[in-house]
Structure 1
Amino acid sequence: MKKIHLSFPVLLLILFISCKKETTKLSGENKLFSFSITDQVSAPVIDETLRKITVTVTPVANLSALNCSFAVSDGALVTFNSIKPAANTAIVDFSKPATLHILAANGNTSVWTIIVNIVWEDYGLGRLVTASKSIEKTFKWYYDQAGTGLFSSINCGPTVATMAVKWSDSTFTKTPQDARNTYRSTGGWWYTDDIVNYLNKYGINSSYTALPDNYQTIKKYIDKNYIVILCLDNYYLRYNANATQRVDKYYKVNAAASGHFIIVKGYRQVDNQFYFEVYDPWSYGATYAASNQLKGEDRYYRSDDLETATNIWWDYAIIVAPKGKTVEKLNQLSPKAQLLSIVPAQHGG
């Protein structure tokens, strides 16, 4: 057999080519291309720099067993909390931050932290909801008092009255400016009896109630599917400068004795805090950047703040019934509720 003699440089070249081929067989790609979770309310926020994924899910999501799907580099292996999924989907416990490892063929690993928040946390409410109710409608019934005419800055009363009639009667088409033109058309604050008179004008039944215990009294009426109108000093509602959250007041009030009307339409018990879900007419065009929703819609005010603000200003409420129904009086109220014939009128502004 003829022997073939190779020079040393040729041998080096062969070894180099062989090693190069061996290297190209093992990919170092460990990228994350997409990620999603069942019950998410929006696309996950993927931070490539910090290798962090933040997802917001609906209140009904089961954090301890959420189905997620993902796409990674070809040939890369995935583990969640050290457990390897069977395919490009996995059921993962997200009740606490989870860890996603993406292992490339050559052993390179990228590590991602996944944080799943319930939507209430993004709102600033907390994590664990133990009680809730919201009186929803299929039609829009929120109005911003901005742009409601010459007296917009003091039109919280006409605006709340219009919202209450619209909530009660979906066919109602009049505006807050129409309400202003009905009572005190030349200016001035609206009073609580103006609101009741306006409701009566359009056949909407309402009733005064005292507030011996705001948390319990208001909650009981909400549970019976009535909305509640409060007249309070909104100086005593705390202010929240966080532009993305929905808890507390989103505007500043610089002095006490600032009467204001709002509608209470629901509640949330979250962690150790009880919140009321409100329609506050003072949006003045301010919206949430993510949803473009006016900030006065579905805002959450603390029950203890509402109690302070009403105790100081007007310790009563106006209960509003759906059209064609009457307000059921709750007999468990204190003796103060028996004096409703002498309820003093109070103004917003």
Structure 2
Amino acid sequence: MPMILDTAFVQINNYADYYIMKNFRLSYIVLIMLFLISCKKEKAELSGENKLLTFSVVGQLSAPVIDEISHRITVTITPIANISALSCIFSVSNEALVTINNRQIGNTATADFSTPATMNIIAPNGNTASWTIVVNTISEEYGLGKSVTASKSIEKTFKWYFDQAGTGKFSSINCGPTVATMAAKWNDSTFTKTPEDARNTYRATGGWWYTDDIVNYLSKYGINSAYTALPDNYQTIKKYIDQNYIVILCLDNYYIRYNAIATQHVDKYYKVNAAASGHFIIVKGYKQVDNQFYFEVYDPWSYGVSYTSDNQLKGENRYYRSDDLETATNVWWDYAIIVAPKGKTVIKISELNSKTQLLSAVPPQHGG
């Protein structure tokens, strides 16, 4: 009997071990399955967010244009910003990685934007959104070119540009009175006369204004000016601008080329259909861009036409090519009127061509 009991007890123990092992194996399998399901679930739950939230660059003139449809960012920078090593600042979806031109970066970076750059935003699950970044200089938007190597602009803290439109019954030929008024206002911020006042001072009954009318009008208000010949337009005008004088030219406007692109600031925005079209302008600055030299001018012929981007009149701060100005003055009036800043007198600049003499009188020419 004891033996039978012992045998039965051993069998019971064997059955218990069997069931324990069986349950252990089942539990182990269940744990493995749960682990695999958990891993699968974790992998499935990795974020696919790869959105661009903000973007800017150091030296931008205005907020970038971010096109969500084409994934294109366009931004314009100041002329002094270094486009080849430009700092950008951005934010993207949480945990997303960013590369610019295949180089992984943080939320700030310096990159070469001299050509369009590719920005990839990579979500944790690997989904990638590609953006094209186009950085333009203001000179490119103006139509000047890319690389500005020399620049000067004679500016004031007050407005001194006048449009010859609306200057009375002779407004269509009032470029002379308008330019004279601009020069007087530039010289003295307290000057309150208008182009119509200037017209009523000389040739009030109509007709072209002449170069000597401008000089006489400036002299009437104590503003010093002088004539000079232009044996080398580019150097003569540039050197006087470098010394903070403004320059008045009387030229044949037909030879300043026309530009039909409405957003650009280069060349005339209006057409002149025939030669012998005398016109007065003020030269107040210059830019050397790539291989082209431009003069920055106030052309009084705006006639209320402005840029849609900022409402600036199109004759204000226009850029005319130096070779066009040379041709246009050579055929019409190969002189210039140099206007001195307030309280100063025009003096000959010593480093100029020996033929560049200040003159008290020259053959007069008209503009309209």
**Pairwise same-fold verdict (TM > 0.5):** yes
In the alignment, is the contact (CA less than 8 A) between 1:157 and 1:191 conserved in 2?
yes
The runs of at least 4 consecutive aligned structure 1 residues that moved more than 6 Å come to: 17-20
- 1:107-256 equivalences in 2 (<5 Å): 107-256=126-275
Q: 42, 57, 74: which is aligned to 2:62?
A: 42
Aligned residues: CA RMSD: 2.3
In the alignment, is the contact (CA less than 8 A) between 1:212 and 1:334 conserved in 2?
no
Equivalence for 1:282: 301
Equivalence for 1:62: 82
In the alignment, structure 1 residue 76 sits paired with structure 2 residue 96: yes
Cα distance in 2, alignment partners of residues 193 and 238 from structure 1? 27
Give the direction of change, closer, same or farther, for the CA distance of 1:263–1:53 in structure 2 (3 Å limit).
same
- Deviation, structure 1 residue 33: 2.0
Give the direction of change, closer, same or farther, for the CA distance of 1:195–1:257 in structure 2 (3 Å limit).
same
Q: 284, 289, 310: which is aligned to 1:270?
A: 289
- Relative to the length of structure 1, the TM-score reads 0.91
Cα distance in 1, alignment partners of residues 39 and 203 from structure 2? 90
- Deviation, structure 1 residue 27: 2.0
User: Once the two structures are superposed, what CA deviation does each residue of 1:132-156 show, in whole Å capped at 9, x if it has no partner?
Assistant: 1111111110001111111111110
Give the direction of change, closer, same or farther, for the CA distance of 1:47–1:197 in structure 2 (3 Å limit).
same
Give the structure with higher Rg (CA): 2
Seq. identity, %: 77
The number of residues matched between the two structures is 339
Equivalent residue of 2:329, what SS? Answer: helix
Q: 281, 289, 313: which is aligned to 2:332?
A: 313
Cα distance in 1, alignment partners of residues 163 and 72 from structure 2? 38
- Deviation, structure 1 residue 19: 9.1
Paired letter, 1:93: D
Equivalence for 2:47: 27
In the alignment, is the contact (CA less than 8 A) between 2:100 and 2:117 conserved in 1?
yes
Paired letter, 1:135: I
- Deviation, structure 1 residue 20: 8.4
- 1:4-23 equivalences in 2 (<5 Å): 21-22=41-42
Cα distance in 2, alignment partners of residues 188 and 333 from structure 1? 36
Equivalent residue of 1:313, what SS? Answer: coil
Equivalence for 1:344: 363
- Deviation, structure 1 residue 335: 3.9
Equivalent residue of 1:158, what SS? Answer: helix
Cα distance in 2, alignment partners of residues 168 and 294 from structure 1? 21
Cα distance in 1, alignment partners of residues 186 and 108 from structure 2? 44
- Deviation, structure 1 residue 106: 1.5
Cα distance in 2, alignment partners of residues 61 and 29 from structure 1? 33
Higher deviation after alignment, 130-139 or 91-100: 91-100
- Deviation, structure 1 residue 76: 1.4
Equivalence for 1:6: none
